[in-house]
A and B are shown apart, each in its own frame.
Chain A
């Protein structure tokens, strides 16, 4: 089945550090990938939609200069949390949908998630 790989799975770093998270679709191409954040006991919240070869689309309230997204190829999107602070500590998850055949209403497949802890 479709596999999405996310790396790293766990990051612990000091306040002020920038952290890059990678999301790869391993056996399919994805023109669009999605980045979510989930706080404990809360639902996944979409942060932004990553579009291959163009700018990401950010959800309301998400700072684009804080969360930099790059989707340089059909199989890789990266999220960089710049100058991270303790309030950025969360579970970040990416997802992708096979874009062949239009993508359409195909289900999204999620990466394993990255647990970010800022001290």
Chain B
């Protein structure tokens, strides 16, 4: 089983649609969670951290369910500029103070005009 699993998509949605991405992780001891966005041939950029209580940043809402080891990202009112690959990222601790980011393969979103 992969450490972080995501549906690779693509998700093709019209402008203005609401779209949700899901992610599961295998290590129940995982420390923290993030969603990154990666545009084609570019580096990943942090979209938002994911907190246990759930958090919202504008049109983006992230949820974490530790019991089910499940993370989600909801995008409301999709814009053309939201088209990108969304990476689910889990920060695991492997002894001492060194943390290690584990990346999902990403979910490709294509917002259509």
The answer on a CB contact under 8 Å between A42 and B32 is no
For B49, B87, B103, the residue with the greatest tally of chain A CB atoms inside 10 Å of its CB is: B103
- List the B residue with the shortest CB-CB distance to A31: B97
The residues of B that contact A102 with a CB separation of less than 8 Å are: 97
Is there a chain B Cβ closer than 8 Å to A83's Cβ? no
The smallest C-beta distance from A21 to any residue of chain B, in angstroms, reads 13
- List the A residue with the shortest CB-CB distance to B47: A107
The answer on a CB contact under 8 Å between B99 and A57 is no
The smallest C-beta distance from B57 to any residue of chain A, in angstroms, reads 13
The residues of B that contact A105 with a CB separation of less than 8 Å are: 31-32, 91, 99
The residues of A that contact B44 with a CB separation of less than 8 Å are: 44, 93, 110
Contact residues, A29-63 vs B (CB, 8 A): 32, 34, 42-46, 49, 51, 57
A38 to B97, CA, bound (A): 25
A contact residues, total (Cβ < 8 Å): 27
Contact residues, A68-102 vs B (CB, 8 A): 91, 93, 95, 97, 102
Is there a chain A Cβ closer than 8 Å to B41's Cβ? yes
The answer on a CB contact under 8 Å between B101 and A43 is no
A115 to B103, CA, bound (A): 19
The answer on a CB contact under 8 Å between A34 and B91 is no
Known: A103-B97, A105-B32, A105-B99. A112 touches B43 (CB 8 A): yes
The answer on a CB contact under 8 Å between B103 and A44 is yes
Report which of A32, A43, A107 forms a contact with B98, defined as CB distance below 8 A.
Answer: A32
Is there a chain A Cβ closer than 8 Å to B105's Cβ? yes
**Contacts A34-B101, A104-B99, A113-B43 known; 13 new A-B pairs at CB < 8 A:** A6-B43, A32-B98, A42-B105, A43-B103, A44-B44, A45-B103, A46-B100, A57-B98, A107-B49, A110-B43, A111-B43, A112-B42, A115-B41
